[in-house]
Amino acid sequence: MAVDANPNPAASVTALRGFFDGDVWHSFRSSPVAIAAAVIALIFFVCALFADVIAPHNPFDLATLELMDSLKPPAWIDGGEPKYLLGTDGQGRDILSALMYGARISLLVGVASVLLSIVIGVGLGLLAGFVGGRTDAFIMRLCDVMLSFPSILVALMISGVGRSLFPNAPDALAFVVLVLAIALTGWVQYARTVRGSTLVERNKEYVQAARVIGVGPLRIMWRHVLPNVMGPVLVLATIQIASAIITEATLSFLGVGVPVTSPSLGTLIRNGNDTLFSGEWWITAWPSLTLVLITLSVNLLGDWLRDALNPRLR
């Protein structure tokens, strides 16, 4: 970010400096919960990111699947094999490898939809706060309406509309619809936060100064106001990643999420759920546990970040 171009560098880097400030680092080191959450989140992120390198098997390579190996329990239980540490599913897929690939898809969808909702939310929030008047009233009414429906319902609706518009959509399009469905439910929080801070910022002297020297409104919004309202957005984004991952998993569990050819954690839980009654608990237990650990650690990190960056709570 071109900080030196900003007329008020002191305020613009406050949020960023907050991260590297001794205070925040100290608060991180002295919070065992934050460290534990960060370590757990990091492990999962690395496993997911490098799934094709780390994973012991390739769960999508049909040639390596052997039906003889199907429904093996985890290695430490009778009948388990050390080759399949966490057991195998009904088609002989190694659960550990499927988990890594699944976590990758879950994280990808989660991060992509959070990025998209940041773009939408921050854009609309800036516009509402900066322009004001009817535009502001319209965007805020829209937010009210969105907030009065639970997000999972809105996501389901959008995914349902997408499905009926493109009944035989290719996988890539299905992903786009899914990311769009989650992003369109998440942008409201950013819009409200950014609008609030923009209302404060737009009356400050540096904005007036920029206006006086003839900087256009779009440029003021982008170069001057935006860097000063991004602090809370970063905190919100951390927490929203967890809820985006949960929404994705829920949609996939309901069978309207990711395409079946690329199973996410939610799909794995859905598949395992069918075999729960015949005693193969491990097929559904491991993806559930992974999902819970990822969302819990990201949530805890988000909570810690919020407290650490907010001096009033310190």
Partner 1 sequence: MLVFILRRLVQAVVVMLSVAFIAFMLFQYVGDPVNNLLGQDATEAQRIALRKDLGLDQPFPVQFARFAANAVQGEFGISLRQGRKVSALIVERFPATLELALVAGLIALLLGIPLGVYAALRRGKASAQLLMAGTLFGVSLPNFVIGIVLIWMFAVELKWLPSFGRGDVVSFGAWTSGLLTRDGLLHLVLPAITLSAFQLTLIMRLVRAEMLEVLRTDYIRFARARGLTDRSVYFGHALKNTLVPVITITGLQLGSLIAFAIITEQVFQWPGMGLLFIQAVQFADIPVMAAYLCLISLIFVVINLGVDLLYFAVDPRLRVEGKAH
Question: φ and ψ at 311, to 5 degrees?
Answer: -60, -25
Terminal-to-terminal C-alpha distance of the chain: 28
Q: Is 153 in the site for partner 1 (CB under 8 A)?
A: yes
Extract the tokens encoding 187: 């942008």
Between 210 and 242, CB nearer to partner 1:
242
Count of residues near partner 1 by CB under 8 A: 39
Q: Which residues pair with 94 in a beta bridge?
A: 88
By the rule CB under 8 A, 163 interacts with partner 1 = yes
Sequence-distant (≥ 6) Cβ neighbours of residue 64 within 8 angstroms: 57, 58
Q: Does 156 bind partner 1 (CB under 8 A)?
A: yes
- Does residue 209 touch partner 1 according to CB under 8 A? no
Distance, in Å, from the CA atom of 269 to the CA atom of 265, rounded to the nearest integer, reads 6
Q: How far is the CB of 149 from partner 1 (least distance, A)?
A: 6
> If binding is defined by CB under 8 A, does position 240 make contact with partner 1?
no
DSSP-derived letter for residue 282 is H
Quote the least distance from Cβ 291 to partner 1, whole Å: 6
Which CB, 156 or 233, lies closer to partner 1? 156
Q: How far is the CB of 257 from partner 1 (least distance, A)?
A: 11
Nearer to partner 1, 119 or 289 (CB): 289
Distance CA 192, CA 186 (A): 11
The DSSP secondary-structure symbol of 67 reads G
Q: Tell me the C-alpha distance between 270 and 210, whole Å.
A: 55
Restricting to residues 251-290, which ones interact with partner 1 according to CB under 8 A?
Answer: 253-256, 269, 273, 276-277, 279, 281, 284-285, 288
Compare residues 11 and 169 and give the one whose CB is closer to partner 1.
Answer: 169
| CB contact at 8 A, 305 and 314 | no
Bridge partner list, 88: 94
Length of the chain: 314
250, 262, 306, 307: which one contacts partner 1 (CB under 8 A)?
Answer: 250
Which spans of this chain sit near partner 1 (rule: CB under 8 A)?
141, 144-145, 148-150, 152-153, 156-157, 159-161, 163-165, 167, 242, 246, 249-250, 253-256, 269, 273, 276-277, 279, 281, 284-285, 288, 291-292, 295-296, 299
